[in-house]
Chain A
Amino acid sequence: MSCEQIRLQIGADPAESNASLEEHVRECAACRQFREEMRTLDANIRRALEQPPQPARTPRVASVWRPWALAASVLLAMLAVLSLWLLRPSETLAQDVVAHVREEPESWLMRQHVDARSMDEALRGAGVKLDITSDRITYAQSCWFRDHYVPHLVVQTAQGPATVLILRNLQVKGRETFHESGMNGVIVPAPEGSIAVLTRGGASMDTLVAQMQQDVRWLPDAP
């Protein structure tokens, strides 16, 4: 079999093993290396698929449905006005923050501190930097939240893990505290948005909130 045929087999299923394939990779170093790379890639694909994807944008309706889409838009607009009337924005934001944290329960379990590169990746999408490089940060992801990428961090404190969401572009009028689903949280205004801090139980968040307000740098050219 040719290298192209072997690579088609490997690329289609890196775990595949049969006599002719094994004989070829024994003799061909390039195909052997290709298989190693593909098996590594495949293991990573499996790990990546373990978690559901970050939400993509909502589907766009094709032109055939445009009149219905228009009607639906009007209805949605009316509902949105009603929602605004029923719920203060800060309450809705708090609920969304709690819902997001509940969707990533593994974040509370991490114990190893994240490296500088992972931190940078988590922060880059939101156009912020942290002045500290703390070994107490054990989780750092860039999460899709309310149409923006926001850094989602978990900081180990003396009273247990605390979640921090740096919410660029999401303003609050003043400090808001909330208690929901066994979590206590606070959202505080920041120069370019707000910062949410959550804990489970009754741990005090004041120190961490103050530290974050001081250490988050809001870059001028945010994405």
Chain B
Amino acid sequence: MTQLFESMRPDLLRFAHWLARDRQLAEDIVQESLLRAWRSRDTLKDRGAARAWLLTIVRREHARLYERKRLELVSLDEALDTQAAETGSGTDGDLFTLRHAIMRLPIEYREPLLLQILAGFSTEEIARELALSSTAVLTRLFRARNKLRTLCGMTPAPDVPASEVAP
């Protein structure tokens, strides 16, 4: 079991890093998550589900830390905003821009996007994890990508109608 958990550490660290946007914090989160996972390892019945289970623990640990310490993550410099917004499309410079754009996404948009792309969760799974309706998750995912479009210099799509937006 230890080997299984440790083999997933890079994935967990990457996920935590994108959530927390701070390397040291991400390492702390993963360390604490692995401890929690180890303590409750008996609840993991299917080893094939270990990755999703661990990623969920990491997400909750990040949320717990965020709440417990009332951390307010500092936004990036204006200089970074300018630098990211100036880059066009079609080169590796795009990835640089995109990485910074993702970092600047508010947590309510970044979190479902990471759960969908890095963790491979379905809309329903994200909804369950974040205690949201499926419609709200769809809206947040749409807005996350729409914000990235804008931050990458593409024309934003019209926002979803208010009727589509669930709490």
A121 near B96 with CB under 8 A, answer: yes
52-70 of chain A: CB within 8 A of chain B: 52-62, 64-65
157-204 of chain A: CB within 8 A of chain B: none
A8 near B74 with CB under 8 A, answer: no
111-160 of chain B: CB within 8 A of chain A: 113-114, 116-118, 123, 137-139, 141-143, 145-146, 148-149, 152, 154, 157-158, 160
Question: What does the 1/0 interface line of B8-22 toward A look like (CB < 8 Å)?
Answer: 000001100110011
A42–B157 CA distance with the chains assembled, in angstroms: 15
Stretch from A33-41, A76-84, A88-96, A128-136 at the B interface? A33-41
Q: Determine whether B46 belongs to the interface, using a CB cutoff of 8 Å to chain A.
A: no
Give the chain B neighbours of A53 by CB distance below 8 A. Answer: 17-18, 21, 99-100, 102-103
B73 near A62 with CB under 8 A, answer: no
Write the nearest CB–CB distance from B109 to chain A, whole angstroms.
12
Count class of interface residues, chain B: 35 or more
A49 near B145 with CB under 8 A, answer: no
B99 near A13 with CB under 8 A, answer: no
A41 near B152 with CB under 8 A, answer: yes
A41 near B149 with CB under 8 A, answer: yes
Give the chain B neighbours of A27 by CB distance below 8 A. Answer: none
Give the chain A neighbours of B87 by CB distance below 8 A. Answer: 121
Known: A13-B141, A49-B117, A52-B18. A8 touches B160 (CB 8 A): yes
A44–B90 CA distance with the chains assembled, in angstroms: 10
A62 near B23 with CB under 8 A, answer: no
Count class of interface residues, chain A: 35 or more
A48 near B102 with CB under 8 A, answer: yes
Give the chain B neighbours of A58 by CB distance below 8 A. Answer: 22, 24-25, 74
Q: Determine whether B63 belongs to the interface, using a CB cutoff of 8 Å to chain A.
A: no
Known: A45-B102, A49-B102, A59-B22. A34 touches B14 (CB 8 A): no
Chain A residues at the B interface, C-beta cutoff of 8 Å: 4-5, 7-9, 11-14, 34, 37-38, 41-42, 44-62, 64-65, 114-115, 117-118, 121, 124-125, 141-142, 223
Chain B residues at the A interface, C-beta cutoff of 8 Å: 13-14, 17-18, 21-26, 69-74, 76, 79, 83, 87, 91-96, 98-100, 102-103, 113-114, 116-118, 123, 137-139, 141-143, 145-146, 148-149, 152, 154, 157-158, 160-161, 164
Q: A12-B137, A13-B141, A42-B145 are in contact. List 15 more A-B contacts (CB 8 A).
A: A8-B138, A12-B141, A14-B145, A38-B145, A48-B102, A51-B99, A52-B13, A52-B14, A53-B103, A54-B103, A55-B21, A55-B22, A57-B22, A121-B87, A121-B96
